[in-house]
Structure 1
């Protein structure tokens, strides 16, 4: 394992983030404030609580997960796509570093950025609601595992994309709808039985459910299934990345 290569890639990506840190943080924080105003105040005035949890607090894990998934995918995809776009990706391919080191550097930086922004969202939520965290260690575990899982997905997206339009279509047309339909702002138990069964086909529901359990000790699906879903996603994405680097698919176009 070439730890020097991992540190170099990681440091380079984090420097790019800190050069635009205010823009990187201001946008998700502003979006979160708007969500609290619209969902927490407007809808929260009609839905006082969900399973004993104040609605304003109930949506905190969903808002954090929405930001985490969007930031993980976008940071990782852009991080590896730009070297492809500029032609500098060949420097990574010929460097004395394997696909594991390259992936760890880019994905580690993308996950770090997403986790940092998500924690800022959590701090922001304290201005609006008094969210409790029943299992802080599990909360951090879900946060880290989910960030890495979707950063791996974003890394694959960046390798797959041939232009900026393709780079943006998956987060806009797939990730965000799945989060909204995955119980970010409601509990699946609030749905009719048929639609509750349909909702459980959404893999994001398992991530949000496990994350919400860490906050309020309540979940739509067993916590073990949530952990299995995250672990399975990491394994599948790692296998896909290994295949891409081994075959050179979309790397040498």
Structure 2
């Protein structure tokens, strides 16, 4: 069971191992820039947010953003490369690997790469600022990261399956993925939204991810409502991804 999924995961990990250092160095640059620019640049203008210093408030969101963005990137770009350059889909048609194996394998790969890159960003933030979190909060935090990585891996797999031009994937990241991330409370609390809009914003899966993961890492709280939103989204994303990829395999 899941033998094919683990085979795909191991293949992706072998590819990652060849360029692990450069991948980690590159992925740290963007969130660290945001952290320095907003955390230190605005520190004198922004008081404590929800009872914690602004630099502490930002840290969980940037770590989460790194992890789920890496999950999307891994799934989208590797799927596009294997489909358009290596013609892997043609090979899959004559192997015993199922569509479920492929999608689950990409989810495993996305989570693993996201976790590694998230840890790298967390380590740099901790070294530079001394921000610390209670280790007992990590279990609740990982619950959100696992589900968030699943959602973003499925989204990436769909993009890599359907989009033929690499620049189109880049546009999806710029026009859809990044705005959803930035508007979901990475740099500001959701409570700053107008009250009439706040309930709707909280139903957005990315808001559930970032708000829930922040509460989990800072306070150890596991919000059942936010977890439920994310779990339903992850399940729906998995079903949709399997259906889309299965149709692509049949073409």
Where does structure 1 lack aligned partners over 5 or more consecutive residues? Answer: none
Counterpart check, 1:41 vs 2:40: yes
5 Å-filtered alignment, 1:123-138, equals: 123-127=123-127, 128-133=129-134, 135-138=137-140
- Looking at structure 1, the residues matched to 84 and 63 of structure 2 have their Cα atoms a distance apart, in angstroms, of 31
Counterpart position of 1:230: 230
Counterpart position of 1:117: 117
Counterpart position of 1:179: 181
Counterpart position of 1:169: 171
Contact 1:66 1:176 in 2 (8 A): no
Counterpart position of 1:72: 71
- Looking at structure 2, the residues matched to 142 and 202 of structure 1 have their Cα atoms a distance apart, in angstroms, of 14
- Looking at structure 2, the residues matched to 198 and 240 of structure 1 have their Cα atoms a distance apart, in angstroms, of 23
SS in structure 2 of the partner of residue 94 of structure 1: coil
Deviation digits for residues 131-178 of structure 1 (CA, Å, limit 9, x no counterpart): 323622111222222112211121111111111122222222111111
Deviation digits for residues 67-97 of structure 1 (CA, Å, limit 9, x no counterpart): 1222111111112111210223211122111
Alpha-carbon shift at residue 2 of structure 1 (Å): 4.8
Contact 2:151 2:238 in 1 (8 A): no
5 Å-filtered alignment, 1:1-253, equals: 1-3=1-3, 5-86=4-85, 87-127=87-127, 128-133=129-134, 135-197=137-199, 199-217=201-219, 223-246=223-246, 248-249=247-248, 251=249
Alpha-carbon shift at residue 17 of structure 1 (Å): 1.2
- Looking at structure 2, the residues matched to 73 and 205 of structure 1 have their Cα atoms a distance apart, in angstroms, of 17
Superposition RMSD in Å: 2.1
- Looking at structure 1, the residues matched to 117 and 240 of structure 2 have their Cα atoms a distance apart, in angstroms, of 27
The change in CA–CA distance for 1:234 and 1:245 in structure 2 (over 3 A counts) is same
4+ runs of 1 displaced by more than 4 Å?
none
The change in CA–CA distance for 1:198 and 1:2 in structure 2 (over 3 A counts) is closer
Instruction: Give the TM-score, by structure 1 length.
Output: 0.90
Q: How many pairs align?
A: 248
SS in structure 2 of the partner of residue 50 of structure 1: coil
